[in-house]
Amino acid sequence: MSPNKVKSEMSDPVLVIGAGVAGLTVAVELADSGVETVLVDRETSVGGNALNLYKAFPTDDCFYCFESNRSRPGIRKCFYRSALLDQPNIDLRVDTEIEELNGEPGSFEIRLKQGPQYVDPKKCTMCGACTELSDAFSLLSPQCQPQSVIFNPEKEDEGSSKAEEECPTGAIDLNAESTETTLTVSDIVIATGYQEMKPNQIDEYGYGQYSNVITQLELAKTLDPNGPSHGALVRPSDGAQVRRLLMVQCVGSRDENYHPFCSKICCVFALKHANIIRRERNGTDVSVVYMDIRTYDRHERYYREAREAGVEFTRGRVSEVTPLEDGTLDITLYDSLLDKYFKTNVDLLVLSSALEPSTGMTKMIEELGLESASGYVSPANLLDTEVVAGDHVYACGGAIGPAEVPESVTQARAVASKILQERM
Amino acid sequence: MAKTEEKTVPPVTLVDPIELSELDRDFREEIHSMPNGEELGACFACSTCTAACPIANSWDYKPHQLVRMILLGMRKEVLASDEIWLCLTCFECQERCPQNVRVTDILFDCKNLAAEEGRIPPNVAELGKELVEQGQLYVITADWEREDLGLEPSLPGLQTEEVRNMLKKSRTGRMLGEDD
């Protein structure tokens, strides 16, 4: 069937909620097949969790570039730019939230609210004139999409209006306001992904109290060459080089008081980070405290490589974290294999915190009349396929539960093929 | 050539294994059937309780090992252990347990079971006896400090009669009180 014919038979677009790995994949696959797609994300740039990662397992490629799809071959070709810029069937709306969901399956009424678009991404050339004049303008990431600077009204200063006047392409409008649009869509794809739990409530680790206690995704940001420290492994408290680092697994995961499920990918990305630190950041000691290491499937190699790279493993739990005046942390831990208590001093404590559904998921599940599985979207029929959540409602990637990139992409393609089959 | 004599001694064993069939397999069910034992079977031996325990460093059996022992049916060893009595009942283990196993409460149950078998450490027994006979744990003695502070020699209006009567009829009274 030719793409043109599919297009002629369709009246309503498909709404894809969330522009992370899964959402982008669905949008691009559908758009390439001639289906008009509205892709919304509440953030100012697409990419989701991927935007803050340095390398992605299982390929260890830079996360901004991975093999996209059949019509866009080439492993190092940037998915975001190539697809989102040259595919007219994608209507990308960042900084946008869903205000209301009404209507019937096959014809949903959606009201979208888009925040003020101070900078027009179609005009912005990222020349840097405004960022030099005012701190309110910044570039989120060199790989951001839309390719445009962003304006933070809370940081507005005298230079802001000057920048507005002097912008060579006239892309800046400081008086921009929020806009609301209503549209009818035939199908909804939930690709809202996961977020990392902030383990403030788990007293013994002192997260939120001591600045040198961070989570794995915060560590990923630190290791990212595009991040605030340009990839140097430094302490948040004073920017000093990290010499010793301790990771703790299962923080809030497999814990009836927080999230009863295993977050599935934290062991793998914790070890990925441990390997990056051991191999690319010389002189840093890494220890991992775990209760079970679950590098499922083909990811066992990360565990083996970590042992080879000299990462220390302790089966046990942390007893106590005591901050010292020099910014280091004294950590008492119990080793359940040796039946001994150990004390160590580290610069950085990294918590592999549970991965939970994105904020607003419960409300969305309720409004669409779906089933919840520990807060994530549950498949309508487990025996059939995991990506169909309800009538004309699909879910993929982190919206179904913690997922790695290949799984998210596979599920996203399954959603695209399901929607295309419906329309034949 | 001297003839080598055949050895008649039993072979040396390197390990001294515990014979599972000799353990009390009902012990697990016994604890499990108590209100506090509901989540006992959920323990996955992560040792969070032992990491949380402020005094387990000096214990022969760590908290998570005691739970394992209960699950295996090592009734004798658990009920005869000093650890169940050394527990400070600070509830830190129970608070942190990721599977909601009520570790501290289960140790309370073990203390009760041990007591019923007459296994009560002398210091605890002494305290219990004091409570049953005096109706209070700390008997105030008339001393110069109270006098200096202008206090009466004994606590005014303190009635221990009812407490004594109640305790006499309780299990504590039966086990520790003087035989009438």
Contact B98 A334 (CB under 8 A): no
Contact A339 B62 (CB under 8 A): yes
Contact A317 B62 (CB under 8 A): no
- Please determine, for residue A363, whether its predicted confidence score (pLDDT) is greater than 90: yes
Query: What pLDDT sits at residue A226?
Result: 80
Chosen from A197, A256, A258 to mutate, greatest number of chain B CBs within 10 A: A256
Contact B100 A317 (CB under 8 A): no
User: Is A301 in the B-facing interface, judged by CB distances under 8 Å?
Assistant: no
Contact B98 A257 (CB under 8 A): yes
Q: Which amino acid is at B61?
A: Y
Calpha distance A300→A243 (Å, rounded): 27
Calpha distance B43→B28 (Å, rounded): 12
- Contact between residue A193 and residue A18 where contact means Cβ atoms under 8 Å apart: yes
How confident is residue A1, by pLDDT bands cut at 50, 70 and 90? very low
H-state helical runs in B13-139: 26-32, 48-52, 63-72, 75-80, 83-86, 92-96, 103-116, 122-134
- Contact between residue A279 and residue A262 where contact means Cβ atoms under 8 Å apart: no
Tens-place pLDDT, residues B114-170: 999 999 999 999 999 988 988 888 877 777 888 888 888 878 888 889 989 999 888
Least confident interval from A170-179, A241-250, B126-135: B126-135
**Shortest distance, CA A292 to any CA of chain B (angstroms):** 8
Q: Name A17's Cβ contacts closer than 8 Å, sequence gap at least 6.
A: A23, A40, A98, A188, A189, A190, A191, A192, A364
- Contact between residue A246 and residue A331 where contact means Cβ atoms under 8 Å apart: yes
User: Is A201 in the B-facing interface, judged by CB distances under 8 Å?
Assistant: no
User: Is A317 in the B-facing interface, judged by CB distances under 8 Å?
Assistant: yes
Tens-place pLDDT, residues A337-358: 999 999 999 999 999 999 999 9
Q: In chain A, which residue's Cα lies nearest the Cα of B57?
A: A341
Calpha distance A407→A66 (Å, rounded): 14
Tens-place pLDDT, residues B27-80: 999 999 999 999 999 999 999 999 999 999 999 999 999 999 999 999 999 999
**Shortest distance, CA B132 to any CA of chain A (angstroms):** 39
Contact B98 A256 (CB under 8 A): yes
Return the residue matching tokens 């990056």.
A276
The kind and range of the H/E element at A26 are: helix A21-32
Contact B98 A339 (CB under 8 A): no
Measured N-to-C along each axis, helices A266-280 and A300-308 cross at an angle, to the nearest 10 degrees, of 30
Per 3-state DSSP, what percentage of chain A is helix, strand, and coil (rounded to 5)?
A: 25, 30, 45
Q: Which amino acid is at B69?
A: M
Nearest CB neighbour to A255, from listed B50, B56, B98: B98
The more confidently predicted of residues A9 and A208 is A208
Question: Residue B138 CA to chain centroid, in angstroms?
Answer: 23
DSSP string over A155-217: G--HHHHHHHHH-TT--B-TT---EEEEEEESEEEE---EEE---TT-GGG-BTTBTTEEEHH
> Pairing mode, if any, of strands A372-373 and A355-357?
unpaired
